[in-house]
Copies of this chain bind each other. A is one copy, B any other.
Amino acid sequence: MALSDTDLDLLFRTARTPVRWSTMPVAEETITALYDLVKLGPTSGNSQPGRFVFLHSQDSRERLRPALSAGNVDRVMTAPLTVIVAHDPIFFDKMDRLSDMPDLRSWFAADVGLSEETATRNGTLQGAYLIMAARALGLDAMPMSGFDSYMVEDTFLAAQGWRANFIVSLGYADGVPEAPRAPRLGFDEACMLL
């Protein structure tokens, strides 16, 4: 079984990062429906290090403003929802419950290089699942890394000790971008078939 062409369009082919946002809000039920999909994506040893801070209220989004790069302020601040994609560097504290492989917790706890790499890689995978799940639910997604991650961590993540990775604004696009899609690398440039 595979997705229809229309569905592949929605996820990949006609999906575009929006230029302008409509004023249509994102419902709170959509946020929980989104996480209920994201959480199912595969992670290494079911470690699930990804953490998601949904800035939904006007007040919470205003607290993000000073951390944004100048060129990103307008397009993030006009979005009805922005998600901080983060990860928990101490994710392994939950491993005994998440995996029946013995001793994963102490394996990660003993090796900060391994646990840091696992948190970053798998938190990033989960951030991509968020982008795809958002599109699957009919939302438009605008991922970006142009912000001050230390300021975001100070403002939003200090109590939890989570680390900021990237942000994704979500909402409903106002129109389709006028510019054609930017060029993509050809198979022969980006792939080898051996």
Contact call B42/A141, Cβ cutoff below 8 A: yes
A193 at the binding interface (Cβ < 8 Å): yes
- With both chains docked as a complex, state the minimum distance between the C-beta of A94 and any C-beta of chain B, in angstroms: 7
- Mark contacts of A177-194 with chain B using CB atoms, 8 A cut-off: 1 yes-contact digit, 0 otherwise: 000011111010111111
Q: A46–B166 Cα gap in the complex (Å)?
A: 15
Q: A87–B57 Cα gap in the complex (Å)?
A: 37
Contact call A40/B28, Cβ cutoff below 8 A: no
Contact call B128/A145, Cβ cutoff below 8 A: no
Interface residues of A in 146-194 (CB under 8 A from B): 156, 160, 165-166, 181-185, 187, 189-194
Within 8 Å by CB of A190, from B4, B35, B141, B187, lies B35
Contact call A54/B192, Cβ cutoff below 8 A: yes
Contact call B12/A128, Cβ cutoff below 8 A: no
- With A98-B182, A143-B42, A145-B118 given, is the CB distance from A53 to B7 under 8 Å? no
Interface size for chain A: under 10, 10 to 19, 20 to 34, or 35 or more residues?
A: 35 or more
Contact call B194/A60, Cβ cutoff below 8 A: yes
Contact call A12/B133, Cβ cutoff below 8 A: yes
Return the chain B residue nearest A81 by Cβ: B193
- With both chains docked as a complex, state the minimum distance between the C-beta of A60 and any C-beta of chain B, in angstroms: 4
Contact call A132/B98, Cβ cutoff below 8 A: no
18 other contacts beyond A36-B187, A39-B190, with CB at 8 A cut-off? A8-B136, A11-B136, A12-B133, A40-B184, A41-B131, A42-B141, A44-B145, A46-B182, A48-B184, A48-B185, A51-B192, A53-B194, A54-B191, A98-B182, A98-B185, A124-B125, A125-B125, A125-B143
